[in-house]
Amino acid sequence: MLGRRVAVSISLFVVGILLLLVGFLSGLGNYSGSTGARSLSLGGSNNTLTAMHRRLLRHAKAVEQPDRIWGEKCTKSDIVINQGPTGPLPSGIPTYTVEIMNVCVTGCDIYGIHLSCGWFSSAHLVNPKVFKRLRYDDCLVNDGKPLINGGTLSFQYANTFLYPLSVSSVICS
């Protein structure tokens, strides 16, 4: 009788561990890297929900802190890019809002802002005076004109995925 109870207890324990393993390996506990968002696939091609699907903006990448003791008046890190998902187009294509901010602590206006943007494209027209792709991995912000200190530019684009955007070069005024 005691041997039977031990056997039942061990088998229940093993079944519990197997269920946890199956749940973990099936993707219910996946983390998407640095953002820490969990994802759950609903079996469709474009039906992935994330824990961050309601969060509007997030940092594009880690920001480097400039060393200005002997350095320049401004650097690439004075431009901060945030982007996040917004409501989809009526056709179902996801849209994203991008904010580009000048956070220069020395009060500088920054112009000639170029971003690394890959093959950026949008199903929704983006005003080319605000943001345009010049060539592969080179996009120009604000038509090259100054983004004043503390100023913010924003635009929306529509594509099946979020483009990673990062500052490639700036000119200080």
The pLDDT of residue 130 is above 60: yes
Question: Quick one: pLDDT at residue 34?
Answer: 41
> Bigger pLDDT: 110 or 2?
110
Question: Quick one: pLDDT at residue 103?
Answer: 94
Question: Quick one: pLDDT at residue 57?
Answer: 53
pTM for the whole structure: 0.60
CA 27 to chain centroid, in Å, comes to 21
Nearest CA to 110 among 73, 69, 138? 73
Residues 6 or more apart whose CB falls under 8 angstroms from that of 90 comprise: none
